[in-house]
Amino acid sequence: MRTALLVSLSLILVFFVNVTNCLSSDDDILDFLPAILAGVNPPSPNSGSVRVAGNKLLSPNGNPLFLKIATWENPFEGSVSGQTIIRFMDYMKATNLNCILLKANMWLVDDNRQRIDTRVNALRWLIEEAEMRGIYVILNLFDVWSRGRGGNSYNLDSNTHPINVWNWDHRHHAADYIKWVTREFIKHPMVLFELGNEMERNDEAIFIRIAEIHLLPHFYAIAGEDRPIGVSQRPLWSLPVNVIFNHDPNSMPMVGLNDRPVITNELAHDTDLWQDSVIRNPSRSQEYINAFNRAKANNHSGVAAATILNINNSLNDAANYVLGELGKL
């Protein structure tokens, strides 16, 4: 008995020495030791960032998180300035709205697929301004609504996109893009990622194959398995993303114990609630409230209002009412 105990203690000592030799400082050892003694894995590399835990989102401090998404904005397409977005973020903070989606995708690269550092820096600035206000950012990486070569306008023809993520021949360009964008923006603890928006509008089978083999493995290797990344819409939910982005306010999946978090980040499927003119129409306000309440009742981790909100124009009473009700969730 005594011999067995001595052997066990020796093995534990050898294991601890090996572990401490792999760590860089006394602080590392102190951080790692409780995990060893408790018999659990060390903390996630995203323990100070927004992250996924089972079917929930967690804030950087580890509390359950519900995203109240005010709108989507594109600072590069030309219709809204960065300063206007920041002024709207001030309104969001005052209204208790805690999330905005920013479109990046092909606006961060030129026609030769090279990164545009001035735009990367501008996007980083907007994210920093959002985080200073306690606002999370969903960063859109690929989108059917993307930039065509030769300009900054939206073009639904993916053959015009600098990187056509529905084209197998562009898979390595897409992989290079996802790697540097992930490295660039995981530095920000309040950033979540949308791999793609409405990617089923083109050849979804090719996109799924490229995403499975060339995109998501790179993302998880860089960002960690629990940094939130999702995709819309329903046909793409078979991908190994850790978040589901839903667009259907009338068919919201119920989140069970073993599911991924669901965020209804757009009210767009078989409805016009995404439009600026609709959120400003007082006769339609209750439809938004119903969608918000349904998302909450179905255990979703977030819900959006009008995703194409024209923040260049002052909000009317109806829009303020809807956004105010979202802020109360």
Q: How far is CA 288 from CA 152, 222, 271, 272, 322, in A?
A: 31, 37, 11, 11, 7
131 half-sphere exposure, CB direction, 13 A CA radius:
18
pLDDT score of 45: 64
pLDDT score of 167: 97
In this prediction, residues 238-267 reach a mean pLDDT of 90
The encoded tokens of residue 33 equal: 């030791």
In this prediction, residues 246-251 reach a mean pLDDT of 89
Tokens 């900054």 map to which residue? 152
Report how far residue 271's alpha carbon sits from residue 149's, in angstroms, rounded to the nearest whole number: 31
Report how far residue 244's alpha carbon sits from residue 264's, in angstroms, rounded to the nearest whole number: 8
Report how far residue 327's alpha carbon sits from residue 121's, in angstroms, rounded to the nearest whole number: 30
Strands 191-197 and 154-155: unpaired
Q: Reply yes or no on whether the pLDDT at 89 is more than 60.
A: yes
CB atoms under 10 Å from CB of 91, counted, come to 14
Q: Which of 42-51, 58-67, 230-239, 262-271 has maximum average pLDDT?
A: 58-67
Which residues fall within 8 angstroms of residue 171, CB to CB, at 6 or more apart?
210, 213, 214
Q: Would you place residue 288 in the very low, low, confident or very high pLDDT band (cuts 50, 70, 90)?
A: very high
Q: Reply yes or no on whether the pLDDT at 283 is more than 90.
A: yes
Q: Where are the beta strands (DSSP E) in the chain?
A: 51-53, 56-58, 67-73, 99-103, 136-143, 146-147, 154-155, 191-197, 229-231, 243-246, 262-264, 302-304
pLDDT score of 44: 64
Do 219 and 193 touch, CB atoms closer than 8 A? yes
Q: Which of 251, 321, 312, 301 is closest to 56 using CA atoms? A: 301
Q: Reply yes or no on whether the pLDDT at 19 is more than 80.
A: no
pLDDT score of 9: 40
Do 109 and 116 touch, CB atoms closer than 8 A? yes
3-state secondary structure (DSSP) of residue 201: helix
In this predicted model, which residue has the larger pLDDT, 251 or 309? 309
pLDDT in tens, 24-82: 333 333 333 333 333 444 456 667 999 999 999 999 999 999 999 999 999 998 889 99
In this prediction, residues 255-279 reach a mean pLDDT of 91
Percent of the chain surpassing pLDDT 70:
86
pLDDT score of 262: 95
Q: Would you place residue 256 in the very low, low, confident or very high pLDDT band (cuts 50, 70, 90)?
A: confident
The encoded tokens of residue 295 equal: 């998302």
Task: State the burial class of residue 329 (Cβ atoms within 10 Å of its Cβ: 0-12, 13-18, 19+).
Answer: middle
Report how far residue 177's alpha carbon sits from residue 106's, in angstroms, rounded to the nearest whole number: 10
Q: Reply yes or no on whether the pLDDT at 22 is more than 70.
A: no
pLDDT in tens, 132-184: 999 999 999 999 999 999 988 889 999 999 999 999 999 999 999 999 999 99
Tokens 């003694």 map to which residue? 37
